[in-house]
């Protein structure tokens, strides 16, 4: 079968339309009763606490590597003392939210897509509709709310662990004093930096959950389709996180000037 640009474009536009409609229905479900709080708390536990080990390890060792690499570069200019500033700014503004988003995407976007995809191919979602339960309200909305809410705290934890990792390397290998390191960390961060670090996880969490739910609910083709949906969910959410990160960074720098 030959490739048709017109048909390919139509499929992309149809997918964007379905994704937008699903997101709108999910937001409406969160704003109107009934709200399934039990499902929300269950997802918070699965998405938030289940991701703690990988987020802690990623944040900590990213901070360690960042301190080593930045010290090596700054040493050429006699500015090793600025290692703390570079680590704290990088972790709070950029690496903390982005790496946390990518790690959670790999773990949870795939999990959401495979779970909902399995329910779709085994007709559990159709049975839910037959019983009068809205699948979007029951399955999609709780996952979006839980992911957005928990990703904020996971990003904060990742940035904190990155700073701690940088501190251990700075004190143990670079010979900096602990008091000096934390003094530089504190005074190098401004409100605009923290605000940027807290804004990005909201968008990243929404991307992870909504993309995972979309590919899960639109799964077709049996168990093989579940595998394809899982792969597409991880790839698409990761790519969207990187693209949205660039756009948000450009916007926030334009607003705050740093």
Q: How confident is the model at residue 2 (pLDDT cuts 50, 70, 90)?
A: low
Give pTM, 2 decimals.
0.90
Looking at residue 3, its pLDDT comes to 59
**Where are the domains positioned within the chain?**
34-256
The span from the CA of 211 to the CA of 110, in Å, is 10
Tell me: the pLDDT tens digits for 50-90? 889 999 999 999 999 999 988 888 877 777 888 888 899 99
Average pLDDT, the chain: 89
């Amino acid at each position: 079968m030959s490739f048709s640009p017109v048909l390919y474009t139509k499929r992309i536009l149809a997918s964007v339309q379905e994704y937008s409609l699903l997101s709108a229905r999910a937001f409406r479900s969160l704003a109107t009763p009934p709200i399934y709080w039990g499902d929300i708390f269950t997802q918070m536990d699965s998405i938030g606490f289940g991701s703690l080990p990988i987020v802690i390890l990623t944040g900590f060792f990213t901070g360690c590597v960042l301190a080593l690499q930045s010290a090596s570069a700054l040493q050429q200019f006699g500015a090793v003392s600025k290692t703390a500033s570079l680590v704290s700014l990088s972790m709070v503004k950029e690496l903390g939210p982005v790496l946390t988003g990518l790690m959670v995407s790999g773990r949870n976007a795939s999990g959401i897509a495979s779970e909902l995809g399995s329910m779709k191919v085994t007709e559990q979602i159709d049975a839910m509709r037959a019983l009068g339960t809205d699948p979007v309200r029951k399955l999609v909305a709780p996952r979006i709310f839980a992911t957005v809410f928990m990703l904020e705290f996971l990003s904060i934890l990742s940035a904190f662990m990155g700073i701690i990792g940088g501190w251990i390397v700075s004190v143990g290998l670079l010979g900096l004093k602990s008091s000096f390191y934390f003094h530089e960390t504190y005074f190098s961060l401004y409100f605009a930096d923290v605000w940027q670090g807290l804004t990005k996880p909201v968008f990243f969490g929404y991307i992870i959950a909504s993309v995972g739910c979309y590919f899960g609910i639109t799964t077709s083709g049996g168990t093989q389709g579940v595998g394809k949906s899982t792969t597409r969910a991880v790839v698409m959410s990761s790519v969207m996180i990187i693209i949205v990160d660039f756009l948000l960074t450009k916007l926030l720098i334009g607003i705050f000037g740093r």
